[in-house]
Amino acid sequence: MNFEQARFNMIEQQIRPWEVLDSQVLSLLAMVKREDFVPRAHQSLAFADLEIPLPPHSHPSQCMLSPKVEARMLQDLAVQKHEKVLEIGAGSGYMAALLAHRAQQVMSLEIEPSLAASARDHLHQAGIYNAQVLEQDGSGPLGAPELAGSFDVILLSASVAEIPSSLKAKLKVGGRLMAIVGSEPVMSATLLTRLGESQFRTEQNWETVAPRLQHFPEPSAFRF
C-alpha cells in the first residue's frame, strides 16, 4: 500500500471538503503518520472515511474516529504552543499526537489498560514526549496529581449526552472544550469557551455521530 498517496487522498478528498482549510492542521495531518497508530490488522483502513475499532473493542468507544472528524475538532480548538490540553479517551494515541504538536503539554486519559499501554508505546515510537497517557476513567474525579489545576483546552474524543459541569470547571477562563454532544441519529460538535467564572459561550457549527464515552451519564428516559 502506498501510504503517502493514501494520506494525500485522505486530506484532499475527505478532510478539505469538510471545511478543514487551516494550513497548519493540514500540514500536521500530512506529517503525523496515522498508519502507525492503527492496529496492524486494520492498517489498510488507516485513511478510510470510517471509525476503526481498537482492541480489545469491548466497548463501542474503543475506536479511532474518522479522519475528517478528528481534523475538524483539531481545527476548531485552535490549540496554541503555550497551552495545556486534557483529552478524555486516548484510544490509539493518535489525537494526543496531533494535539502534542500544537500544545505545550497533553494529558490524555484512557479507561482501558491495554489501550493506555499501546497509546504510550505509539507516542514514544513517534518521538512525542510532551503527551502523557494516564490509565483513568475520565467520567470520575480527576484526582491524580498530574491533573491538578485547570486546562486551556479539553477534548472529549467520543460523544456524551451532555458536558459534565466538573469538566467545565477544569477550564481556564478563555479556555475551550470540544465534545460531540447529543443522541443518535444526530449529534452536534460543541465548542464551549469559558468567558468568566460561570459564563460560557456555546458554538455548534457541524453535526456528526460518534460512539459514547464510557460511564458518562445518560439523561433519564422518564418524562411527566
Task: Note down pLDDT in tens along the chain; length 224 residues.
Answer: 899 999 999 999 999 999 999 999 999 999 999 999 999 999 999 999 999 999 998 888 899 999 999 999 999 999 999 999 999 999 999 999 999 999 999 999 999 999 999 999 999 999 999 999 999 999 989 988 999 999 999 999 999 999 999 999 999 999 999 999 999 999 999 999 999 999 999 999 999 999 999 999 987 655 55
CATH fold of 3-208, please? Rossmann fold (3.40.50)
> What are the domain boundaries of the chain?
3-208
In this structure, what C-alpha cell is assigned to residue 66?
Answer: 474518522
The pTM assigned to this predicted structure is 0.95
Residue 92 CA to residue 220 CA, distance in Å, equals 32
Cell match 457541524: residue? 206
Residue 4 region by backbone torsions, left for phi larger than 0, else alpha for psi between -120 and 50, else beta: alpha
Question: Active-site residue 61, yes or no?
Answer: yes
Nearest to 176 by CA among 54, 49, 55, 78: 78
Which position among 61, 92, 118, 139 bears the catalytic label? Answer: 61
